[in-house]
Structures are given as structure tokens and as C-alpha cells.
Amino acid sequence: MLVLFDGDLGERETLRFIEEKLHAGIWSWDLATGDMEWSHGFFSLLGIEPDSIKPSSTVLSQMVHPDDRPPSEAVSRTLNEGLPAEWEFRIIRPNGRIRWIATRSELLLDSDGHPVRSIGVSFDVTKRHELLQSLDIASGRYDALIRAAQGIVWFGDKSGNITKVLRPDDTIAERPMGRQSEHWTDFVHPDENTLVEGLWRQAALSRNPYRFEHRIRQRDNSYRWARTIIVQVFSRRGEPLELIGLSTDIEIEKRYSQNSARPKQLTGAQIRAARGMLALSVKDLAEKAAISPTTIRRYEQGDGPINSAEAALEVIERTLAQAGIEFIFPELGKPGIRPR
């Protein structure tokens, strides 16, 4: 049931309302004469003042973008088959602006079954095409960034399942037979499985990036050191969608730092970072090391080296090392940590 506006112009006003709200227009095409009838809404789609010109297929064809004009044989085939037609095309309005139009039409047949008239409804779908174009641009930039990163990109959920792995050559890593997803531990060194799995889960609970170092299995089953950063992807409403990780190769850096002659002087920043990587509070570490929480807080007050010969500092370092942390002191750059 169609509800019409009241009054003598109820039908016309109802049609105007529908066309205006849906950005739509209705047309009719006499196949014998080529003459057309356009509703006010269709005039608006074309950017033409209503009734300012005589509607015709010739006028409409001239407004269609040259690249979108259908070949004559395609039009003939549509008319001969007598089937509903759907197509999208660009028009160039009199002011020079381009709009995308989607059209749905049907043929009316005479008593002998020959097409005599085509009727249709058209919609402005420019916003949809602009959105698709924006998505294409974003996708292209995203692919370019992955190639430029020259690392391994991980996509996964907060449970630790990996849904996709992209290596520098843009190929997807092989999945084990019968598996629909992988786990981080399928790609890291066996000695680091538990630690990396814990870090992945920690990242799933944090809104901040997570950084750590570990070894990654290569295609030839060898292992190389990598530095990985994991970030969460959020929806526009702030809901977590997935996790993305980027691993870059630091094998040379690791080999160089292992031979460093730089004095190994523990820093407050290293202790804080080690606690964070292990998800330990000051109280937790104090209990494990059997030392005062105040002592730990005092050591962590600054970022630089801790100038202390106290036995407690050695106990803290040993406790964290036993929990899976390796303290590194590269020749260049700042001291850091990594999982053993």
C-alpha cells in the first residue's frame, strides 16, 4: 500500500518526496521515437532545471561520460532479449561535475511481444564510488607500506591465533595441513614459545604498542633474530578488531652486540622494561627476589645506569634473567632487553 500526501497534488508531492530523499529519478523512453519523459528527480540527477530542455535519449547519451557509453550492439541485445537491465555510468553535468548514476530498467512489450518502451529508475551513487576509490587508495598505500617495511607482517586475534602472515616477498606463509590458522609459536624459536605467547596476549589487553625481540623460523628452518612491534586495530567506536605485528630482522645487530666490550651496567629503564615484559609488579618482583619493594623503586627512579655495588642489584638481575630476560648492552645505542 502506498501512502500518498493529501490534496490535489498528493501523488506528485509523494513522488517528489521519495525522489528527493532517495536521490532518485524516474524516466520513460519511447523506443520508436527516441523521446523520453523525465521526472523532476531525474532532471535533478542530471543537474538540469526541470522542463528546461526536451528530454530525449540523444540528450542523455551526450551527458554520459564517453568511457561509459555502451556499444550499440549491447543496447540492441538488451532490447532484443526484452529482459530487465542494470548498469552504472558517469554523467557530466552542465557545470562540469561528474556524478555516478545507477539505473534499473524494464521493457514494456506490445501485444505481439515487441519492446515499445523502456521505463526505469535511477539513483545517484557517487558517494559509494568515492568510498570505493578511497578504499582502493588506502589498500594501495597499505600494500606499499608492507613492501617498504621489508619485514614479516602478522595478522591475528587476541587469543593468539594468526590469520595471515605476509613475508617480504608478498607471499603468504604456508599453513600446516588441516590448519585454518596458526599460532605465534609455530614461527618462533621453541625456547621462546611461552614468552612470546604471553606477550601476544598482553598486547591484546593493551591499547599501547608492544615491542620485544625474539627469534623467527625462516623458510629453511633456520632462526634469525627479529624485533617485533604489536599494535591493536580498533574500530571507529574504539572496539578492538584484531592485532597486527611487524617483525624486522636484527640478526646483524644481535651478532654485533654479543661481542661488545661495553661495560654491562644495569639501568633503571632495563629493570622497568623487564618487569613489563614479564607482567610483574614491583611487589611481584620484590617477592621473587626476596628484597624490599623500596629498593626496586629506588633503582627504577631513573633511566640511566645504576651506580650501585649493592648485592640487591645483582639479585634483581639474576631473578629477571631466570624468568626469561636477557639484558643486552650494544656498542651503539641504549642498553635493552630481550627474551632468552
C-beta separation of 232 from 243 below 8 A: yes
| Residue-number span of the structural domain to which 266 is assigned | 261-339
**Considering 257, 287, 305, which residue would you say is the last residue of a domain?**
257
164 occurs within a structural domain: yes
CATH of the domain at 215: 3.30.450.20
311 occurs within a structural domain: yes
Longest dimension (CA), the chain: 106
DSSP one-letter code for 69: P
Q: Is the same domain home to 269 and 242?
A: no
Residue type (1 letter), 297:
R
pLDDT of res. 63: 92
106, 137, 199, 225, 275 from 241: Cα distances, Å: 43, 21, 18, 28, 27
- Tell me the CB-side half-sphere exposure of residue 100, using CA atoms within 13 A: 12
89 occurs within a structural domain: yes
**Considering 77, 99, 130, which residue would you say is the last residue of a domain?**
130
Q: Is the same domain home to 31 and 98?
A: yes
CATH of the domain at 265: 1.10.260.40
pLDDT of res. 48: 92
pTM > 0.85: yes or no? no
pLDDT, averaged in runs of 10, over the chain (340 residues): 54 76 88 87 91 88 89 67 79 93 89 86 91 84 75 80 72 42 72 81 84 86 88 86 88 64 75 91 90 89 80 88 87 77
